[in-house]
Amino acid sequence: MMEKKYPSRAEAERLVREAEALNPGPWGDHSRVVARCAEAIAAACGLDADKAYALGLLHDIGRRFGRGHMAHVYDGYTYMRSLGYDDAARICLTHSFNTKVFEDYIGNVDIPEEKQKVVRDALAACEFDDYDRLIQLCDGIGTAEGPASLEARMGDVKRRYGRYPQDKWDKNFELKRYFEEKAGRTLEELFAEAFHKES
């Protein structure tokens, strides 16, 4: 039997709690919202909901090493690989590049050339699957408070960073349509159910 390349839900939750203790901030709650969004969409699309939850939860785990921009991509990728969680490592990388274009990264490229090369080479070697696409979409929707519309979330990012590449913007809407067609329901319908079950 092949070993899973991502942790259990419980282990993913433990890793995030441990990381939050090292670098507190809203990123932890953002990650939980991304995880719940991914779980809800995955369940409706015939994907593995537990895997989607764990990958969504860990997409920003590189933030355990401090406040960084592209550094969190590199740090998450290498940290998850060091634990043997290659699928989670891949999501740490791919969640920031829905167009697969390194230059479309929003934020500072705050890592040296040799680390940039690791990111570029790993990205070039990836063929995106539905888990990559799912976390890219959910990262574009999830705030620390809950899911938001793509327009609101991307508009906020654009205001904060001064840019949002059009191809990246368009790709998010393409991903939304893709998963809504697979689910046969709108994301709003899925999230209304997922986020109000316990309230």
Cα(27)–Cα(149) distance, rounded to whole angstroms? Answer: 18
Rounded to the nearest integer, the mean pLDDT of the chain is 95
| Residue 127 clears pLDDT 50, i.e. is over it | yes
pLDDT tens per residue across span 9-33: 999 999 999 999 999 999 999 999 9
Find the domain containing 88 and state its range.
9-192
pLDDT above 70 (res 2): no
Q: Is 142 helix (H, G, I), strand (E, B) or coil?
A: strand
CA distance 94 to 46: 21
- Specify the CATH number for the domain of residue 111: 1.10.3210
CB-based burial label for 127 (10 Å; 0-12, 13-18, 19+): exposed
Residues 169-195 have a mean pLDDT of: 95
Sign of CA dihedral 29, 7, 46, 171: positive
91, part of any domain: yes
Closest by alpha carbon to 28, among 79, 62, 51, 75?
62
Q: In angstroms, rounded to a whole number, what is the distance separating the alpha carbons of residues 181 and 28?
A: 30
**Measured CA angle at 80 (ends 128, 97), to 5 deg:** 35
Cβ atoms of 98 and 56 within 8 Å: the answer is: no
Q: What is the DSSP letter of 197?
A: S
The answer to the question of residue 197 being in a domain is no
> Is the per-residue pLDDT at 126 higher than 70?
yes
What are the structure tokens assigned to 18, written together?
């441990």
Residues 60, 94: Cα–Cα separation, whole Å? 11
Closest Cα to residue 28, out of 10, 6, 13?
13
- Decide if 94 is inside a domain: yes
Residue with tokens 């998450």: 76
Interval 49-69 mean pLDDT: 97
Domain count, the chain: 1
Residue 155 belongs to a domain: yes
Q: Is residue 199 part of a domain?
A: no
User: Rounded to an integer, what distance in angstroms lies between the CA atom of residue 6 and that of residue 176?
Assistant: 25
Confidence tier at 99 by pLDDT (50, 70, 90):
very high
Query: Considering the entire predicted model, what is its pTM?
Result: 0.95
- In-domain check, residue 198: no
